[in-house]
């Protein structure tokens, strides 16, 4: 029965493909039929998305569980190694690292961390006349530019001076065709 069903499905798909190649929307009925086919295809997309999301959620939950288990093992063994290295350093204050067959344990000198309160630092640098240490960011206010200037073909023109605004080109886009399917 499974082979017959598969054969039937293949035949129907071939027939539909043949119909698609010769099908032309030239009446309201055919247009409505095409909209119905779009609605059915969109429903299939929704169902496939729901199934995929459900499976992705399961896989993500499994993945997080496995990552957490592995991270617990990593943390445990790193803690044991840190304890061992500290004991070695207590016995030998010059101890910095040791190479072992599966890796290395070591103490690494860290650079100091700088915690900035940006507003306070900016105020200090301005008062100290150290503006060479400040970064100034300039960027065009695009929404205001669209309002202040007028379009002339593919250029923006300053209406007060008649000058072309450098650095901006206007791209005229064609109208976009959209199909909206009524929801049930």
Give pLDDT tens digits for 85-142. 999 999 999 988 999 999 999 998 888 888 989 999 899 988 988 988 898 888 999 9
d(CA 140, CA 28): 49
pLDDT reported for residue 2: 72
Strand partners, 97: 106
At residue 150, the 3 state secondary structure works out as strand
pLDDT 10s digits, 9-64 = 777 777 766 666 677 889 998 888 889 888 988 998 999 999 999 999 999 999 99
Consecutive H or E run containing 51: helix 28-91
| Widest pairwise Cα distance in the chain | 92
């Amino acid at each position: 029965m499974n082979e017959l069903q598969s054969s039937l499905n293949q035949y129907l798909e071939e027939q539909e493909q043949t119909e698609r190649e010769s099908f032309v929307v030239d009446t309201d009925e055919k247009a409505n039929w095409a909209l119905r086919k779009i609605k059915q295809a969109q429903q299939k997309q929704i169902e496939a998305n729901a199934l995929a999301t459900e499976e992705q959620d399961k896989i993500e939950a499994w993945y997080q569980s496995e990552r957490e288990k592995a991270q617990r093992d990593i943390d445990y063994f790193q803690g044991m190694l840190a304890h061992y290295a500290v004991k070695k350093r207590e016995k030998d204050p010059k101890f910095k690292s040791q190479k072992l067959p599966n890796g290395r344990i070591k103490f690494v000198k860290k650079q100091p961390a700088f915690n900035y309160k940006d507003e306070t630092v900016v105020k200090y640098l301005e008062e100290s006349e150290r503006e060479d240490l400040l970064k100034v960011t300039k960027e065009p206010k695009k929404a205001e530019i669209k309002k202040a200037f007028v379009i002339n073909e593919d250029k923006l023109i300053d209406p007060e001076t008649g000058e072309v605004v450098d650095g901006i080109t206007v791209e005229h886009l064609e109208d976009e065709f959209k199909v909206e399917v009524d929801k049930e």
